[in-house]
Structure 1
Amino acid sequence: MRPRQLTSAIWQLPFPVGHVYVVRLPPGGRSARAGYALVDTGVPGSAPAVLAALDGLGGRPEDVRQIVLTHSHIDHTGSAADLAAATGATVLAGAPDAPVIRGEAPEPPPRFTAAEQTLFDGIMAGFADAGMPEQRPVAVDIELHEGDELTGWGEPVHVLATHGHTPGGVALHLPESRVLFPGDIIGTGEGRAVLGPGNVDREQAIASFRRLAALERVEVVCVPHGDPVTEDVAATLAAATPETDWL
């Protein structure tokens, strides 16, 4: 697994299911060293690979200051407990998803289309065949809401609530860097931007997709599944047809 550099400060760590993104942060607090944020953490068992990639970028575990979880699904939160323990980082997630991530509430079940059910069954079978470890809950230190801004990134980071995929999904928009972390609302495949499958409320998820697609000042879309969108972003998102995806 080789990190893919997308901007001067952002790398994708590509995993078979659920990519992790590393963001270099400016020095701050008592440290003269650059810090790092992780956006999502991969499935359970991904922590060693994430930490090895961080080491390859010149970072130490203690340099990780924040772990931002875009939503509660296992391919995004699965290694959060291990990475939080290894780094001491602050864990942030959308408020409605926080009880699930903490292990205090069950995961709301998605409403699958037939195509989504086939995809999901195949992924879960792959997890079982690979002997994926069980997920451990993790404390959420900061609950995020629509309109919040993250601190310590050296530029504005706007939190957008993305209802529909899960009740408490969030996206991050960095207008100065022109970067969007959409969570599972937006994925890519076969050169297209597509609606992420497995939503608790498909209509809300489509509305969230359209909202993100209409954002200005976006030139890189860091999707969790598929290839990041780094060229012709506006045209790619405008051409998307989330209303008919996975039907």
Structure 2
Amino acid sequence: MARARRLLPYLILLAALVIFGLYLAANADRYRALLDLSVAGIFYLILLSLLFWVVNGLINTLFYRGLNTPVTLHEGLGLAAVNTLANQLPFAGGLVAKGIYLKQRYRLTYARYLSATAALYVCFVAANGALGLFVLGYMQWRGATVPAILWAGFALMTAVLATLWLPPRPGWIPTRWRQRSAQLVEGWGILGRNGQLVRQLTGLQIVMTALFAARFWLAFHMLSQPVSYADCLLFAAATVLSRLVSLAPGGLGVREGIV
């Protein structure tokens, strides 16, 4: 009986896969008409994914070196891969995994790590907001009608960059929490005190968003959807918000609502 209970989840999974396979077989003609797959398209998707991973690894390397941890490029790439896999969990698995690694290897405190990561997220939101405003301006120049809510949303995203120079004041915090709060303030202020690092990370984030948009464009065209690259760039610029408002594992959320 106990063995049957252990096997039950695997049997359910097998049954689900069989049902899904039968469904695909029954609707094969529809999918062939919808999908526009090619060897070249798949190759470009893989290439874009690899480039995305490399840029993400560079961001990790520069950022954690800014926290005075001698992270190598090899480690930065590894953390990028771990982050991608762990974020498929229904919580911020990548954030947790990187925090544990940096704590164990470089003794980076969780308070400093989390506050600096929050500041990095603010930097990314602002970069994507500026990119979104640029795309909206291009669309309006081409004669498209742009809803005011999009202008307001991307302008607000850009404006959050100012918070990097407005660190919290920990004076009201009880004495026993002063040391930890000092680490939080110090971690938050790292980017605000290092303009060169902000420019480097912002540039890499824009490159990463452009690569993400190219992946969107290829995927849409493989589904026979003639979406422009400008539209995909707008979707990708909004994707950064799905890290904060995630409705499902894998970062699904805000971008799907915009699409």
TM-score (norm 2): 0.27
Q: Which one has a larger percent strand, Structure 1 or Structure 2?
A: 1
Where relative contact order (Cα < 8 A, 6+ residues apart) is larger, the structure is 2
Structure index of larger Rg: 2
Greater share of helix residues, 1 or 2?
2
